[in-house]
Amino acid sequence: MPSRRKTASSGAGADLRILFLGDVLGRTGRDAVAARLPTLRKDLRIDLAVVNAENASHGFGLAPDMARMLFAAGADVITLGNHAWDRKEIIPYIAETPRLLRPLNYPPGTPGNGSVLVTLQDGRKALVLQAMGRLYMDPLDCPFRGTAEVLSRYRLGGTVQAIVADIHAEASSEKMAYGHIFDGQMSFVVGTHTHCPTADAQILPGGTAFQSDAGMCGDYDSVIGMMKEGATLRFWRKMPGERLGPAEGEATVCGVFVETDDTTGLARRIDPIRIGGRLAQAMPAVSP
């Protein structure tokens, strides 16, 4: 098992502020993120913003023009997931766009990359990566070994000031195991895919911030973002129906805010974010 680092202290060291927004779902989610992200970056003085957008195109995949819109709104890195290839036109685009990530444990030869080293505006460096779980998901290569191989090239608090991982997985147990295995080697591990924000935001014993799922940016008067009429009938009658479509009511922008210490790269703080829509609101307070 990979080694652990000591928990970050409250001593000297600059803060690096990270914003992660959960799965963007459909037009409602895209529009909400485009409207809210610039203000979030400004109000929270964000250094690195990561957005999961694998459901941005009508709930299935991401189109290049939608990726460009999210980058223009302030996303530094966009992550995908099991719907990465639902829009075929993303294949040439991801090959030429390093900051658009698909899971690192796809087989060798798959277009795109699973990690990217980002140089921030002030010159600091952050590594962002994504892995996909295997429980109740496609049987890809091992996400744990693949992540360990990527991490072996960097030193948290040395060659990079922050490391952020999106673990795109169905099972909370697999996400938690991932967080604990890499506790102390990353700044922040956050889960995506289940579209429901979890209440377990915490700093793990080794100093890594963790939340099992960031939730989605979409309409919560729905079944995980899809129109509830068709989705509920699939459970009630156990028969396939018409193709599911995204719910189009007011979206809640869900995500996670993390502060890290440059000296160690480990987390000082983690807070959930929920803005707009139906869910209880949550917005971190930051000092001026």
In a domain, 287, yes or no: no
In a domain, 237, yes or no: yes
Domain enclosing residue 44, as ranges: 15-275
Does the pLDDT value for residue 7 go beyond 60? no
In a domain, 167, yes or no: yes
SS3 track for the chain: CCCCCCCCCCCCCCEEEEEEECEEEHHHHHHHHHHHHHHHHHHCCCCEEEEECCECCCCCCCCHHHHHHHHHHCCCEEECCCCCCCCCCHHHHHHCCCCEECCCCCCCCCCCECEEEEECCCCCEEEEEEEECCCCCCCCCCHHHHHHHHHCCCCECCCECEEEEEEECCCHHHHHHHHHHCECCECEEEEECCCCCCCCCEECCCCCEEECCCCEEECCCCECCECHHHHHHHHHHCCCCCCCCECCCCCEEEEEEEEEECCCCCEEEEEEEEECCCCCCECCCCCC
Q: What is the pLDDT of residue 13?
A: 52
The answer to whether the CB of 213 falls within 8 A of the CB of 22 is yes
Q: What is the pLDDT of residue 257?
A: 98
In a domain, 256, yes or no: yes
In a domain, 147, yes or no: yes
Band (63; pLDDT cuts 50, 70, 90): very high
Question: Catalytic one among 83, 168, 193, 195?
Answer: 83
Q: Could you report the per-residue pLDDT of 128-152, keeping only the tens digit for each?
A: 999 999 999 999 999 999 999 999 9
In a domain, 282, yes or no: no
Number of domains comprising the chain: 1
At 250, which CATH number?
Answer: 3.60.21.10
6 vs 200, more confident: 200
Does the pLDDT value for residue 242 go beyond 90? no
Mean pLDDT along residues 73-92: 96
For the ranges 3-12, 70-79, 95-104, 212-221, which has the lowest average pLDDT?
Answer: 3-12
Does the pLDDT value for residue 288 go beyond 90? no
Mean pLDDT along residues 221-226: 92
Per-chain mean pLDDT for the chain: 93
Does the pLDDT value for residue 156 go beyond 60? yes
Mean pLDDT along residues 269-283: 98
In a domain, 209, yes or no: yes
In a domain, 283, yes or no: no
- Give the residue among 54, 2, 5 at the shortest CA–CA distance from 184: 5
Residue 83: active-site member: yes
Q: What is the pLDDT of residue 191?
A: 98
